[in-house]
Copies of this chain bind each other. A is one copy, B any other.
Amino acid sequence: MAEGDRLTHIDASGAANMVDVAEKADTSRTATAIGSVSMKPETLAMILSGNAKKGDVLATARIAGIMAAKRTHELIPLCHPLALSKVTVEIDPDETLPGLRVKATTKVTGKTGVEMEALTAASVACLTIYDMAKAVDRFMVLSGIQVVEKSGGQSGDWKAPDWNGAA
């Protein structure tokens, strides 16, 4: 589990550029990112059982996250385009938050990691939840958006210390 000691997107002259990954091996890589949207308990109740079918709110956010993962390289300037082989987004309620927890997993057989794709999927799923509930709750907050697990690639497999696999 080795981290580097320099910002890889910045070249010797200090300019931001898209680094060369041509010499890296094509290996199977996965990443999992999480995030959450905290809200008022009544907002969560409305999403889960109120005047909306639970399915549609969460399905919309899940689809938005999946579609955003495929556009990561259009949004993040120095990300490489990738032929993602899998994207899943899960959304679960957490009444202790209270709010919704999002978990996104991405996979590729390629030369670069897929953590930005997982983070983008999680972020856009959270943003979509915010959009769908903002008329009833303007103080929702997105937080804890982070990578919790990664496999493949030269930095090896790793998992966030306190990550137990739940969303």
Hey, which chain B residues are within 8 Å of A135, CB to CB? 3-4, 6-8
Residue of B nearest to A91 (CB): B15
Hey, which chain B residues are within 8 Å of A120, CB to CB? 127
Bin the interface of chain A by size.
Answer: 35 or more
CA distance A11 to B105 in the complex (A): 14
Q: Is the CB of B133 within 8 A of A139?
A: no
Kindly identify which residue among B77, B84, B90 contacts A67, using a CB–CB cutoff of 8 Å. Answer: B77
Q: Is the CB of A89 within 8 A of B17?
A: yes
Residue of B nearest to A68 (CB): B75
Q: Is the CB of B77 within 8 A of A64?
A: yes
Hey, which chain B residues are within 8 Å of A79, CB to CB? 131
Q: How far is the CB of A27 from chain B (nearest CB, A)?
A: 11
**Given known contacts A22-B109, A55-B55, A146 and B139 CB-to-CB distance under 8 angstroms:** yes
Q: Is the CB of B83 within 8 A of A81?
A: yes
Q: 20 A-B residue contacts at CB 8 Å?
A: A7-B52, A9-B132, A10-B57, A11-B88, A17-B87, A19-B86, A20-B107, A22-B107, A53-B55, A56-B59, A60-B78, A64-B75, A64-B76, A64-B77, A66-B77, A77-B128, A83-B83, A123-B124, A126-B145, A140-B146
A20-B85, A67-B67 are known; give 20 further A-B pairs, CB within 8 A.
A3-B138, A6-B50, A7-B51, A7-B135, A10-B53, A14-B52, A15-B56, A16-B57, A17-B88, A22-B28, A53-B55, A55-B59, A66-B78, A75-B127, A77-B128, A79-B131, A85-B111, A140-B146, A141-B143, A143-B144
